[in-house]
Structure 1
Amino acid sequence: MKTNRTWMIGALVLAGAGLTGVGAVAATAEDLADGAAIEVQHHQATDMQPAPAGKMAHEMAHDTAMHMHHHHDMTTGTVRSTVQYTLPPVTLVRDDGKAVSLPDELNDGRPVILTFIYTSCTTICPMVSQTFEELQARLGADRDKVHLVSISIDPEEDTTARLKAYAARFDAGPEWQHYTGTVEASIAAQRAFNVYRGDKMNHTAVVFFRAAPGKPWLRLDGLATPGELLSAYHDVVASN
């Protein structure tokens, strides 16, 4: 069991971060230290070069914990869950400058694929937005029937002009809107979908799917591929 756990922690170290979404694997500092120590022992047996395992374990655990704290979740792999969310009665500002009701935007009858981003993000957000861009192409005839939604978690910086430029960067079509608004409205939306982490730097990759108003949401935590997004969309629509 310890060998397996060490392998998982080693994977987290190599990936650079740990999942913080639903069903994620949590590694304590003690676990990291244990894993690091075992890895060090393995290298000693292989290379026959003794090393101060305790010190290296401590440094590896410390460095990994710091990296996980200060960086986005960049771990590959996804976790699915089905959740009922209540949409808050807040007003957001669409990238065309129009103030709109969040419930009205999401309850217009179309299937919804939703995520949270911010334009100055250089890690997760561009990757998620790029998968949305490719998803648009893969939707084919369904493209005009789906509502793609990206809500900013940094509304103070993300003006409608910045959102429009960001949308153009990823060739967002008319079915894909980006939203900003007040800080309070953005936080309310984040809390409603259980993604609020207090600081945009703690933002994790997550996409939500819903077939129609009143239906449950499929939550996909982790960096999904365009194929995974398309599969999740088809699953949600088929279950409606």
Structure 2
Amino acid sequence: MREDERISVVKELLFDYVKSPSLRHIRDPYSLIRLAQEIVRRVDRGNSIWRKWDGQREVLLKSAVGCWIPVEALRDFINEMPGPRVTATDVGQRLKAFEEEEYYSYPKEELQKGCLALYEKEKANETELPAIIGLLRDRVERGEERLRAEQQKRYQRLREADRIAREQRLLSGADCKWTQLQKSPRWYCRANGRTYRLSPTNDKMWNLYRVNSVSEEDEAALIGKYQRRGDATKVVSQMAYQPEPKW
């Protein structure tokens, strides 16, 4: 690609980017990274090491990423398009290169069986490959969203199970890290058999108390006021093993 062509490509991408009505979007670091990647990709396209791949071939193959379409089927269709013949290795390695780029993700094995079944069904009906890719793309997107939702639910269940375990440990009298009881804004921990409480203040800081139990009505001795919970943790780790007065 000649230098003047590179400048034109960069100008075009920059002009399109700053058309956004949102200053927040324009200044967003992730969006800027994507813009930089697209600039490099477009500028390098004229000097690509992949000699058999023009724009239309790449568009087709990129749309098939993650859809579990057999490489041989993609090879056969691409060889019907204008351009040099490609092998299954050409197609497989170009797919792999796309998967490793920022915009694309690796195929989800959980979706493989359903994708292959749908592909075979549509192939038997003589559906054209680009149409099959579009159908599978929709299926994959829905499947990935479902997998993300399931993963989030598993994470929430694990968090809740961990919270309950810590709460039970606190109530049993065992040493434990900072733990909330139900939806209380207060946090409790126990170190060396001694119980401490953190209470939020109106100025977004924390009051650290030494308490005898986790009862809300229990008398408490104020130890100090701290900006972060981590600061209070450091104090507790020292005080818990030092002589203390009778509270």
Pairwise same-fold verdict (TM > 0.5) = no
Q: Which gives a bigger RCO, structure 1 or 2 (Cα 8 Å, sep 6+)?
A: 1
Higher share of residues assigned strand: 1
TM-score (norm 1): 0.20
Higher share of residues assigned helix: 2
Which structure is larger by alpha-carbon Rg, 1 or 2? 2
